[in-house]
Amino acid sequence: MRYTKTFSIHKRTLKSGKKVYYYRTRDEKGKRTVSKSTGQTTKAAAETYCLKLLKENSLIPPKEELFKDFARNWWIYDKCTYIKGRLVRGFSFSRMHADIKRMQLEKHIIPVFGDKKLNEISENLVENWLFDLKDKGLVNSTANHCLAILRIMLNEARRKKLINENPVAFIKPLKKTNKEKGILSLYEVQKLFYPIDINKTWINPVYYTINLLAASTGMRLGEVQALQGENVFPDHVRVCYSYERKYGLKDTKTHDTKEIDINPTLYKLLADLKIKNPTGYLFSVNGGEKPLYFKSITDALYIALNNIGITEQERKARNITFHSWRHFMNTSMRGKLEDYKLRYLTGHKTQEMTEHYTHIEKEDLKALVSFQESLFAVSPETAAPQGVN
């Protein structure tokens, strides 16, 4: 009868140049397992290590988990242990953020890796999957997001010693192809906000006020939707909430409250809305109970842009969206305020993000309130640069 040794030992040279002994054994079905490190640098020490595991009944691994079983509760907000761990350590993690990751997991990751054992997911398999995502038409940013999700999950599997190494650890993401967010020129903005043309340019004065507020303060769309009358003052607005269409009111993205100066003209527009909606959300069609739907806000902006001569085709080519107001405000104020003050206004935590939101062209504007006045203080015709009709 042929004798089968309980384990075998072999030597590997790591990328660092260090030589370490690994061992292999057989699972409950007699199939050879993947190599596992002993952490030892001599064969004798490696054998002693394996004999110790054998004595403790730890040498032969338990039945290996399938990826779909491992992924069962991942990114489900109230069940995912990874999210719970982040929250108890003081990190933020929104429900919407979790929902997006769960959707990508179910749509792009589980269909490929679900029926594979965790240790069967190799670097080559992951890289081919990443290229397939690209070939199927996913934009690079979405494919990279999926890769990041898988990297986090398998890193947790490694941390819990379910696998020896994370096969995603050394896979580089695809080239970034995100289109830079476009901004409007000061002339275009003045044309958009010229007071005499409000009813001609905008489908409703409320949308005029929303966009003027965003252009003047750099507030995010969710922060604008969340604004309530009690947080509007004659010389500033207090930004302490954001609104998510699925989960409603929540903290701002940075969990900070900030107060942003506003000029008298903007305050008057906001004060008029406070009369219409004395409680609840300021920008609302049902008395403050719910804010205006995000799509109605963006659609109103696109209609207004078309009304001043920026067609849908041009808008898309220039990549102008509601979020462009943050870029416009940041770019216009860069150099007019110290960077730490500008980061306070925009809610950016790092110098890198301030750089990201700053475009090459800078307008020679004064401080924040003066900047706000410049958006509509003069007729766009008199402000038009030479050669612009």
What is the SS3 string spanning 336-360? CECHHHHHHHHCCCCHHHHHHCCCC
Find residue 256's DSSP bridge partners: none
Buried b / exposed e over 81-102, threshold 16 CB at 10 Å, is: ebbeeeeeeeeebeeeebbebb
Neighbours of 135 (CB within 10 A): 9
pLDDT in tens, 33-66: 878 899 999 999 999 999 998 888 778 766 678 9
Q: Quick check: 161 pLDDT over 90?
A: no
Tell me how long the chain is.
Answer: 389
Could you tell me if 258 and 284 are in contact, meaning their C-beta atoms sit under 8 angstroms apart?
no
Element (H, E) at 37: strand 36-40
Query: What is the rounded average pLDDT for all residues in the chain?
Result: 84
Which tens digit of pLDDT belongs to each residue from 312-345? 999 999 999 999 998 887 777 665 555 555 555 5
Report the C-alpha gap between 237 and 218 in whole angstroms: 12
Q: Give the span between the Cα atoms of 146 and 182, in whole angstroms.
A: 26
pLDDT at 1 over 50: no
pLDDT range class, residue 171, cuts 50, 70, 90: very high
CA distance 40 to 360: 56
Q: What proportion of the chain, given as a percentage, has pLDDT over 70?
A: 82
- pLDDT, position 388: 40
User: Which of residues 219 and 366 earns the better pLDDT score?
Assistant: 219
Question: What average pLDDT does this structure show over 197-223?
Answer: 93
Report the DSSP pairing between strands 36-40 and 19-24.
antiparallel
| pLDDT tens-place string over residues 90-110 | 888 889 899 999 999 999 999
pLDDT at 153: 97
CA atoms of 23 and 49, how far apart (whole Å): 10
pLDDT over 50 (residue 363): no
**What's the Cα-to-Cα distance from 10 to each of 37, 38, 163, rounded to whole Å?**
10, 10, 18
Record the pTM. Answer: 0.64
What Å distances lie between residue 322 and 121, 211, 212, 256, 284, CA to CA? 41, 8, 11, 22, 18
